[in-house]
Amino acid sequence: MHARHGHYDVMMFRGVSLIAVLWGQTSVAGEITVAVASNFLVTAEKIAAEFEAETGHDVVLSNGSTGLLFAQISSGAPFDVFLSADEDAPSRLRSAGRAIETMPYAIGELTLLSRFPLSVETVAAEFAGKTAVLADPTVAPYGRAATRTMEALGLDTAAFKPVMVANVGQVASVFVTGNADLAFVATSQLDRIEAPHVLDLDGIAPEIRQGAALLSDDPVARAFWDWLARVETAALIAADGYQVP
């Protein structure tokens, strides 16, 4: 998302700028770049839009799989904040001295989409000969959750055709375009996908705890970081289909 540019009107409260009090910022607009895991992109766009409207700063979002973004950050990519799809990547960045702070911000869930009726009891037989798409577990936490879920369901990859794509956002695209019979998607994506049948994996799929990393001491980055921790932001995240820590 390329944010809008422009200065903002400072709201005054008891003679003191509300923005300055809350976020310690000046009235000069700045810009930050946020690396965001693909599953969280739509929600991040909403958070960024509210932040921009309130502060006048610009937020540029760059999305991809957690593994790819982690590699880019580790190689010196100039991101200010990282919204990962797991807690491991932010933790490793902090241990390496690349992140200033980390915090949990969302808990994601996995859902199985299908073009035909299926149930937990008969899913192994119903997968036979079908094409199932999932995110690449080597780079995507939602892909790792999908492989663990397949193990829990007793699915044999030799009996069906698994198709792996770079991230869970692409999983939804493959299913929507008709190129897969089944798809392991983020539950938060459900309101944007027309699926004939949905299998709830609650209690079967592992929860996906998502962590953030503050990568820059830029004051605008710090302001956005504090914005993420707001109760109002947590409510927005929950409304988009996530649990909040």
Report the CATH number that the domain containing residue 53 is assigned in CATH.
Answer: 3.40.190.10
Average pLDDT over residues 187-199: 94
Judge whether 143 lies within some domain: yes
pLDDT reading at 9 higher than 80: no
The pLDDT value recorded for residue 169 is 93
Judge whether 228 lies within some domain: yes
User: Which letter does DSSP use for residue 147 in this model?
Assistant: H
CA–CA gap between residue 108 and residue 207 (Å, rounded): 6
Q: What is the pLDDT of residues 122-181, one digit of tens each?
A: 999 999 999 999 999 999 999 999 999 999 999 999 999 999 999 999 999 999 999 999
Q: Are residues 91 and 120 in the same domain?
A: no
The pLDDT value recorded for residue 28 is 75
pLDDT reading at 197 higher than 90: yes
Q: Are residues 20 and 38 in the same domain?
A: yes
Nearest to 67 by CA among 139, 141, 5: 139
Q: Are residues 27 and 72 in the same domain?
A: yes
Judge whether 27 lies within some domain: yes
The pLDDT value recorded for residue 11 is 32
Average pLDDT over residues 33-39: 98
- Whole-prediction pTM value? 0.87
Average pLDDT over residues 190-199: 93
Q: Are residues 160 and 181 in the same domain?
A: yes
Average pLDDT over residues 189-212: 95
Residue 27: pLDDT band with limits 50, 70, 90? low
Q: Are residues 42 and 70 in the same domain?
A: yes
Question: How many domains, in total, are found in the chain?
Answer: 2
Judge whether 5 lies within some domain: no
The pLDDT value recorded for residue 123 is 94
Structural domain boundaries enclosing 212: 12-108+208-239
The pLDDT value recorded for residue 23 is 43
Mean pLDDT, the chain, whole residue set: 90
Spatial contact of 86 and 141, defined as CB atoms under 8 Å apart: yes
Q: Percent of the chain at pLDDT above 90?
A: 88
Residue 18: pLDDT band with limits 50, 70, 90? very low
Nearest to 110 by CA among 222, 242, 201: 201
Q: Are residues 195 and 229 in the same domain?
A: no
Judge whether 190 lies within some domain: yes
Q: Are residues 195 and 224 in the same domain?
A: no
Q: Are residues 212 and 135 in the same domain?
A: no
Q: Are residues 75 and 185 in the same domain?
A: no
Q: Are residues 104 and 224 in the same domain?
A: yes
Judge whether 245 lies within some domain: no
CA–CA gap between residue 193 and residue 208 (Å, rounded): 20
pLDDT reading at 188 higher than 50: yes
Judge whether 20 lies within some domain: yes
CA–CA gap between residue 114 and residue 139 (Å, rounded): 24
What's the token pair of residue 119?
């149930």
The pLDDT value recorded for residue 29 is 85
Judge whether 4 lies within some domain: no
pLDDT reading at 209 higher than 50: yes
pLDDT reading at 26 higher than 80: no
Q: Are residues 94 and 155 in the same domain?
A: no
CA–CA gap between residue 90 and residue 43 (Å, rounded): 19
Q: Are residues 122 and 177 in the same domain?
A: yes
Spatial contact of 240 and 107, defined as CB atoms under 8 Å apart: no
